[in-house]
Amino acid sequence: MADKVPVLVTGGAGYIGSHAVLALLDTGWPVAVIDNLVTGFRFAVPEGVPFYEGDIADEALLARIFAEQKIPAIMHFSGSVVVPESVDNPLKYYLNNTAKARALLASVVDASVPHVIFSSTAATYGIPEESPVREDTPRRPINPYGTSKLMTELMLADIAAAHAVNYCALRYFNVAGADPQGRTGQSTAGATHLIKVAVEAALGKRDSVSAFGADYDTPDGTGVRDYIHVSDLAAAHVLALEALIAAPQPSLTMNCGYGRGFSVLEVLDAVDRVINRTLVRNMEVRRPGDPDALISDNSRIGSNGVLDIGGTAVAIGTVGSGSTGGTSGNSLDIGTATVSQTLSASAGNITFHDNAEATGNVVITGMSAGDTMMVTNAVATDYNFQRDFQDTDDLVITYTDLGTGATNRIVLDEVLPTTGAVGSLALATAPMGFEFMTFA
């Protein structure tokens, strides 16, 4: 476990930055915040957190913060983030995201700050040649926003090569949601994020929702994005910081997403189902700089031990011969199972049924490392799982809760790779409802 050193959060009064501040505080890290409050809000910074109103390019202010707070780590969120605006006003983005980042990094080097977490973006990939997108996919941004972030990534790599600094660049896909305890959220007036806009329309704060482009190379013609909950993203930053401190030589670049995309129309359909009415939709022309689809390959962030990322990110232990992973707090929304059947090495599927009087446990045996089981039909009475085989070391369960729409992921570390290895997973009783479930 890394020492809980003081962390300076730039842009800590903004949307993602304020969630990172809470994630740090909740896990015992001392925090200070710098924000110029151009898009951030003073109320988003918790009481008792040292707050400095100012610009990250103010080297004198940064030197004072480093001295007063004894800062050895920075989480850098400050910047501009609206893709269409970056096309219309590129110099604003090269100033805020690149030039000011250069000034910040100069202060980092001058003060010998050893660790930097950088808020990067999947926009650095542009229109990727593959999907899901891996971190080593060629970076060819198609808008100034993505280019401005990529330039900062390049600066970080050069600084790490020349100085005693290690960094983690986290490439976000589409961030959504708010702190589950309601302590902060996306408060920006005129927000452009689809889920925020759709929820405001559902609450009557907007008359309609615009879908920009219906001619993309996607199944329904609208853009597809990989959405990640902001609290999961904040947790990833904390765990990335722990990883940098624990291994101060290497640097990291990792995708932050759930590995599954949803189109604009799929998101709006989900909101319609929740509110039991249809939002007014305006089909508009494409916005400049928007790719057809961006979906993450998030395997690296898990393999580095940073985060088993998903709507519910829970590592529930080692599964080996005869051992059991899972506790009453780690449950899947599957209802209760009346039938506990076993899956042998040669079996094709396992079926269980919902019944409130059952124990709620399903035991899976005969698992080899990386087996995949997929729900082939999700109806009220049963779920059928089909087994495949993959060469991985972890048993990963991914499922979508039909009630909330959240995509959730649980990882059982170090499943034995030997043939016939036995793993048991206890599934606690919970309300029924999910669409698919994968062991990968």
- The domain segmentation of the chain, as residue ranges, is 7-184+227-257+295-303, 313-439
Given the DSSP bridges, would you call strands 262-263 and 224-225 parallel, antiparallel or unpaired?
Answer: antiparallel
pLDDT tier, 336 (very low <50, low <70, confident <90, very high otherwise):
very low
Give the per-residue pLDDT at 130.
87
- Comparing 298 with 117, which gets the higher pLDDT? 117
* Other beta carbons within 10 Å of 37: 14
pLDDT band of residue 4 (cuts 50, 70, 90) is: very high
Contacts for 420 with CB less than 8 Å, ≥ 6 apart: 345, 366, 368
- Of 25-29, 32-36, 97-101, 369-373, least confident by mean pLDDT is 369-373
pLDDT at 317 over 70: no
Instruction: Tell if the pTM clears 0.85, that is, is over it.
Output: no
Q: Which of 197, 312, 290, 302 is nearest to 256 (CA)?
A: 302
On the CB side of 349, CA atoms within 13 Å amount to: 12
**Is residue 427's pLDDT more than 70?**
no
Per the annotation, the verdict on 167 as an active-site residue is no
Q: What is the DSSP letter of 94?
A: I
Instruction: Please check the confidence at residue 16 and state whether its pLDDT lies above 80.
Output: yes
Give the separation between CA 98 and CA 104, rounded to whole angstroms.
10
pLDDT of residue 129: 85
Query: What confidence tier does 285 reach under pLDDT thresholds 50, 70, 90?
Result: very high
Span 58-77, average pLDDT: 98
Concatenated DSSP letters of 20-87: HHHHHHHTT--EEEEE--SS--GGGSPTTS-EEES-TT-HHHHHHHHHHHT--EEEE--S---HHHHH
Burial of 279 (0-12, 13-18, 19+ CB in 10 A): middle
Question: Residues with Cβ < 8 Å from 274, sequence gap 6 or more?
Answer: 202, 405
CA dist 185 and 438 (Å) reads 31
* CATH for 7-184+227-257+295-303 (3.30.360.10, 3.40.50.720, 3.40.190.10, 3.40.50.970): 3.40.50.720
Cis peptide bond prior to 141, omega within 30° of 0: no
Q: Which of 15, 145, 216, 399 does the annotation list as catalytic?
A: 145
- Model pLDDT, residue 303: 63
Lowest-confidence pick of 6-20, 110-124, 202-216, 348-362: 348-362
Q: How far apart are CA 156 and CA 102, in angstroms?
A: 9
Dist CA 82 CA 406 (whole Å): 25
